[in-house]
Amino acid sequence: MNHHTHRFRLRLHSLMAMVCAVYLLLLSGCHASPSRPLTDQTERMEDGINVLMLVNGSHALPEGYDITLTELANGQQIAALMREPLQAMFDDMRAAGIYPVVASGFRSPEKQQSLMDEKIAQLQANGQSYEAAVQEARTWVNPVGYSEHQSGLAVDINADGIHSTGQQVYQWLAEHAWEYGFILRYPKGKERITGTSHEPWHYRYVGVDAAREIHTLGVTLEEYLGQT
């Protein structure tokens, strides 16, 4: 090898090292604080299910996901593992004079698809083009595989419409649901992180320890898990 080639190779190596260093610097910059988990335990197993499982517009349910369900008196189904905490929460709400109902619990893929179709039709009926309706519908209803309701770990809680108003129910839940292991999944002002409009009725079971931390920190599940 002559001196000329040797020098050229050295220069090439240092150039490549520099490119790598810049690339790594940019990469670490992009993934700095916003995506650092706020917990050292991003998985919490209950009855063989990770109750911290993230399901949102970019995180689908795991392939072959299987959950043991239980049916409520009104016919709605929920994950069996959260029946007791949900019952305890509802008992305490009623003791406080507030009467909630589970308006929607577990949804099958077919049910999720029909909800999406209904929302699109409704928006089109309001004068939107099909394309615009599909786009807006996705901010209200998640596509099949991307809805927390398919996990069985989410519930929409509303008022019974006789003894209580929605506002009373949402207010009580916002203050106390964490004590039973449930979090407000789509808070106001966090729409860009969750990808979902504010839903004061949608609660997600994550277990008492995580719910306490998430509530105290005032964060979303995405932020808690470092998945923003």
Q: Catalog residues that contact Zn ion under the rule CB under 5 A.
A: 156, 202
Query: Rounded to the nearest 5 degrees, what angle is found at the Cα of 227, between the Cα atoms of 35 and 102?
Result: 140
**Does the annotation count 199 as an active-site position?**
yes
Please, what is the minimum distance in Å from the beta carbon of residue 35 to Zn ion? 25
Of the candidates 46, 136, 191, 199, the residue annotated as catalytic is: 199
Please, what is the minimum distance in Å from the beta carbon of residue 84 to Zn ion? 21
For Zn ion, the nearest residue by Cβ is 202
Whichever of 202 and 215 has its CB closer to Zn ion, that residue is 202
Query: For residues 226 and 26, what is the distance between their CA atoms, to the nearest angstrom?
Result: 18
Query: For residues 34 and 225, what is the distance between their CA atoms, to the nearest angstrom?
Result: 10
Whichever of 114 and 129 has its CB closer to Zn ion, that residue is 114
Check if the beta carbon of residue 103 is closer than 8 Å to that of residue 73. Answer: no
Whichever of 39 and 72 has its CB closer to Zn ion, that residue is 72
Per the DSSP assignment, residues forming a β-bridge with 157 are 102
Which candidate, 124, 129, 148, places its Cα nearest to that of 199?
148
Catalytic residues: 199
